[in-house]
Copies of this chain bind each other. A is one copy, B any other.
Amino acid sequence: MDESRRERKKRQTRRLIAETAIRLFGERGYEQTTVAEIAAAADVATKTFFNHFPSKEDVLFTGTRERNAVLLEVIAGRRPGESLPDLLTRMYEKLLADYRAEGVEAEDPALMKTYTRLVMTVPALQAKALYMTFELQKEIAETLVKVYPDELDPVGAAAVTGSVLGAVQGAALASMDLGEPEERFWASMRRGFDLALRGLSR
């Protein structure tokens, strides 16, 4: 077995806490739910919550770092001679694929929807999400400079990254605000991406 009982139980506890948290947040609202209540509902000590998650918000952003790492790998794996627009497009496709896969693999679609609603409406969670996107942006820019040493300097790379992610994010959020259905949502995100990309290809 590649996972010991200890590791398995730890993961279980972590997962139990996270799912309990989303459920309670959905029922009572984010601010109205205390960490103590989550811990009690999951039948663990309050401290155990903070042993697994550095803050109350973090319980909602468990997989984000890993998902971001995947995008960075795409950038780092620039193919020989691959143009910047092509590489960014590959990254975007990967982002999209992950996003859709997440929706499918989710064992509980209702939780997924609750999650989206929370992150879109609760200021503290929005700020957290923005901050993490911001960190991703810096890492992408840094990696871009490495794989395009002759074409990109740090400022240019940061501008490109900010432009692309900003456009995609803006379009996605606007689409959600409008309550657009699934398929139009993907189309809107694509529009944002294409718009930003046009600035690169001269």
Residues of A within 8 A of B (CB): 123, 126-128, 130-131, 134, 137-138, 141, 154-171, 173-175, 177-178, 188, 191-192, 195-200, 202
Contacts and interface: CB of A to CB of B under 8 A. Distances in A.
A171 B196 contact: no
A53 to B, nearest CB: 16
Given A154-B178, A191-B159, A141 B170 contact: yes
Contacts of A157: 174
Count of identical protomers in the assembly: 2
Contacts of A141: 170, 174
Nearest to A162: B170
B154 A177 contact: yes
Describe A's contact surface by its main secondary structure.
helix
A178 to B, nearest CB: 6
B199 A197 contact: yes
A128 B134 CA distance: 12
B137 A170 contact: yes
Contacts of A123: 131
A35 B198 CA distance: 47
A69 to B, nearest CB: 19
A171 B199 contact: no
Contacts of A169: 162, 166
Contacts of A163: 163-164, 166-167, 170, 192, 195-196, 199
Given A127-B130, A128-B127, A192-B162, A175 B199 contact: no
Query: What are the 5 closest A-B residue pairs judged by CB atoms, nearest first?
Result: A166-B166, A162-B170, A199-B199, A158-B174, A163-B167
26 contacts: A126-B131, A126-B134, A130-B130, A130-B134, A137-B170, A141-B170, A141-B174, A155-B174, A155-B178, A156-B195, A158-B170, A158-B174, A159-B171, A159-B174, A159-B192, A160-B195, A162-B169, A162-B171, A162-B192, A163-B163, A163-B166, A165-B166, A195-B199, A198-B200, A198-B202, A199-B200
